[in-house]
Structure 1
Amino acid sequence: MLIFMNLFLPIFMFIVGILVFSMKYKHLLSTLLSLEFIVLSLFYLMCVYFMNFNHEYFFTMIFLTFSVCEGALGLSILVSMIRTHGNDYFQSFNILQC
C-alpha cells in the first residue's frame, strides 16, 4: 500500500504538469514553469523507484544536471524574447522577423 501511495503522487504530479503545459500556452514563462514541474515529478518518481529497488542514485544526479541545463536554456530564451519583443506572449512573436 505504501509503494502505491509513493507512486501515485509523482504520477499525479506528472499528469497535472502535462495538463497545465497543454492548457496554458500563451506565455513562455508559464510553459517553462510547467516543464520544470514535470521534471520535478520525474525526479521524484525516479527517487521512489530507486529507493524501492535498492539501486544507486547516480542516474538521478545526471538527470538533475540535464534538468538544470534545460532550465538555464529556457531562461536564456525567455530573457532573449523579452529583450527583443518586450513581453513573453507567443502571439507577439513572429518567426519571420530577424
Structure 2
Amino acid sequence: MSMTYINILLAFTVSLMGLLMYRSHMMSSLLCLEGMMLSLFVLMSMMILTTHMTLASMVPIILLVFAACEAALGLSLLVMVSNTYGVDYVQNLNLLQC
C-alpha cells in the first residue's frame, strides 16, 4: 500500500475520531463528517484511476452529490437549532426532552 493511501486512510481515521470525541457541538460534528466525505471521495477517485474501472467512474460524483445534500441539511439544522436555543449542542435535538 502506497504512502498516499495511508495518508488518506489516516485522514479518514482522524475525522472519525474527531466525530467520536467532539460530538457535543453540532458544528464540529459537521466538519468531521465533511472531512470523512472528502477523504472517501479522494480514496474512491484514486482507486478508480489506478484500477482503470470506467464503469465505476460515476461513483465519486454521486458521493459528492450526497455530501452536498448532507452539508445543506446539516447547516439548515444548525441554523434552526442555534436560532431556537441559542447554542449548537447536539443534545438540543432530542425531541423527548422537555
Q: Secondary structure at the match of 1:34?
A: helix
Letter in 2 for 1:39: M
User: Which residue among 19, 25, 28 is the counterpart of 1:27?
Assistant: 25
Q: Decide which moves more: 34-43 or 81-90.
A: 81-90
Letter in 1 for 2:81: M
Q: Which amino acid aligns with 2:64?
A: L
Matching residue's letter, 1:83: N
| TM-score, structure 1 as length reference | 0.87
- Once the two structures are overlaid, the 10-residue window that deviates more, 37-46 or 48-57, is 48-57
Between the aligned partners of 1:90 and 1:65, the Cα distance in structure 2 is 25
Find the partner of 1:43 among 38, 41, 44. Answer: 41
How far residue 70 of structure 1 moved from its aligned partner, in angstroms, is 0.7
Cα root mean square deviation, aligned:
1.7
Count of aligned positions: 95
Q: Which amino acid aligns with 1:23?
A: M
Q: Calculate the TM-score normalised by the size of structure 2.
A: 0.87
Segments of structure 2 that go 5 or more residues without pairing to the other structure are: none
Cα offset, 1:97, TM superposition: 5.8
Q: Equivalent residue for 2:73?
A: 73
Hey, what does 2:90 align to over in structure 1?
90
Q: Do the aligned partners of 1:81 and 1:88 also contact (CA within 8 Å) in 2?
A: yes
Cα deviation, 1:33-78, whole Å, max 9, x if unaligned, reads 0000000010011011011101232111111111100110100110
Shift in Å at residue 22 of structure 1? Answer: 0.5
The 8 Å contact of residues 21 and 31 in structure 1, kept in 2 or not, is answered as: yes
Counterpart residue number, 1:55: 53
